[in-house]
Amino acid sequence: MSEPVPSVTFPPAFLWGAATSAYQIEGAVREDGRTPSIWDTFSHTPGKTAAGETGDIAVDHYHRHREDVALMAELGLAAYRFSISWSRVQPTGRGPAVQRGLDFYRRLVDELLAHGIKPAITLYHWDLPQELEDAGGWPERDTAYRFAEYARLVGEALGDRVEQWITLNEPWCSAFLGYGSGVHAPGRTDAAASLRAAHHLNLAHGLGTSALRSVMPVRNSVAVSLNSAVVRTVSQDPADLAAGRKIDDLANGVFHGPMLRGAYPGTLLEATSSITDWSHLRDGDLETIHQPLDALGLNYYTPALVSAASSADASTRRADGHGLSDHSPWPGADDVAFHQTPGERTEMGWSIDPTGLHELIMRYTREAPGLPLYVTENGAAYDDKPDPDGRVHDPERIAYLHSHLSAVRRAIADGADVRGYFLWSLMDNFEWSYGYGKRFGAVYVDYATLERTPKSSAHWYARAARTGELPPLEG
């Protein structure tokens, strides 16, 4: 037998958490004044989700939140990152808040605090009110102002008890999968609209940050969670390096440029000039977007591997890991080919490469010095099944978590200021266009009975959270 892998110890103040999003877990889509979001509409459109599955019930967290919080406490979680359903709080995306909707989140926050769990709120995790989409959605500038109004309403209601706030989760997915490739809600396929959406999401972040700070105590932290890509090239050939730069601009620079530096990359503007003249970028926008952040959230799953495309690579953009579509989520990058990254894979087909997480953390340590970092999503989908005794063993997920948390610890040792880690996800849930076929949870959910069963990875993570030390793995 080989020697055990040495244990890895984290700083005492490191925050151990788990994450979810509203549409993926809440259900209760027609209760207490909630109206449809773009994901309600999209999932009810034939052919858009696996087996036509929807989030109508999801895992019924709306009615089972006390049970779920008790389970979090049993697992020793110090923090829980969840998102607010915009259409539950402000059903039309305009006007006053619906107090019944806010009351659910008040109850959830109170329950978390009563169990000693720190709430972390994400204001937007892809579920735009359908009425705002009907008015044009994120490609329209007004949506950013509607978001600021919504942020103010939620900040006023919960800012006295919740200290950690995130404006947007993965705006890249909202803009480019929602309006470019169409594999996410609202399912539009317009390259120019996707770039306008990206800019207005940036503007929403800036306006929302200001709105939150105008109504909340100064002690509160405001951040954003980006699924910044780790872009690697198949060679150092200048053409491949240029392809890598183009994807890095579209995956990363389009958001962190204005948010962290107050400017879009010039190479991005040049590469997309045949698609848009960027007239939607108005005077003063970059100053509005470039708000000082209190922290930055990084979501990481797998790296990207690209090259310059040849005539034989016409369909290689399908290998980017973001779902199949005849339309690209990479505007202006039809000359870039995506390649399968090597190594073992999760059920999503994503390669397992913890070195990418270390690389990502160190990049932002260099590019945003002094800004605290959180890993706000990281995890893996596997084909988990209960054994005859009803237990769910998932050693692959334990190995995944161990390797990626070890990468986080290496980054801390290398000087990165990483304050916490949020496992994706707390429990199995509705995985967007994949329906219920991909299980990311540390807690198994029987979708017929909605019974929750912590997997072996949940117990492993609970031990890590309680001790601050990764339980060693046997080789």
Beta bridge partners of 338: 306
Encoding tokens for residue 198? Answer: 């990206």
Residue type, 99: Q
Of these residues, 170, 347, 396, 469, which one is catalytic? Answer: 170
Which uninterrupted H or E stretch holds 344? none
Q: How far apart (Å, rounded) are the C-alpha atoms in residues 295 and 373? A: 6
DSSP for residue 5: P
Encoding tokens for residue 231? Answer: 């872009």
Which residues 6+ apart lie within 8 Å of 203 measured at CB?
Answer: 141, 144, 285, 288, 289
Q: What angle do CA 202, 204, 440 make, to 5 degrees?
A: 75
Q: How far apart (Å, rounded) are the C-alpha atoms in residues 96 and 242? A: 48
170 belongs to the catalytic site: yes
Q: How far apart (Å, rounded) are the C-alpha atoms in residues 225 and 235? A: 30
377 belongs to the catalytic site: yes
Q: How far apart (Å, rounded) are the C-alpha atoms in residues 178 and 136? A: 13
Closest Cα to residue 421, out of 8, 1, 5, 101? 8
Closest Cα to residue 180, out of 170, 171, 168, 192? 192
DSSP for residue 50: G
Q: How far apart (Å, rounded) are the C-alpha atoms in residues 17 and 408? A: 14
CA 134: distance to chain centroid?
Answer: 24
**Alpha helices (H) along 137-248:** 142-158, 171-172, 178-179, 191-215, 238-248
Which uninterrupted H or E stretch holds 452? strand 452-454
Encoding tokens for residue 91? Answer: 């059903």
Q: Where does 4-56 show beta strands of DSSP type E?
A: 8-9, 15-19
Parallel, antiparallel or unpaired: strands 221-226 and 231-233: unpaired
Closest Cα to residue 357, out of 417, 298, 424? 298
Of these residues, 26, 111, 133, 377, which one is catalytic? Answer: 377
CA distances from 472 to 64, 217, 381, 419 (A): 34, 41, 22, 22
Q: How far apart (Å, rounded) are the C-alpha atoms in residues 370 and 443? A: 35
Parallel, antiparallel or unpaired: strands 443-445 and 452-454: antiparallel
By annotation, the residues acting in catalysis are 170, 377
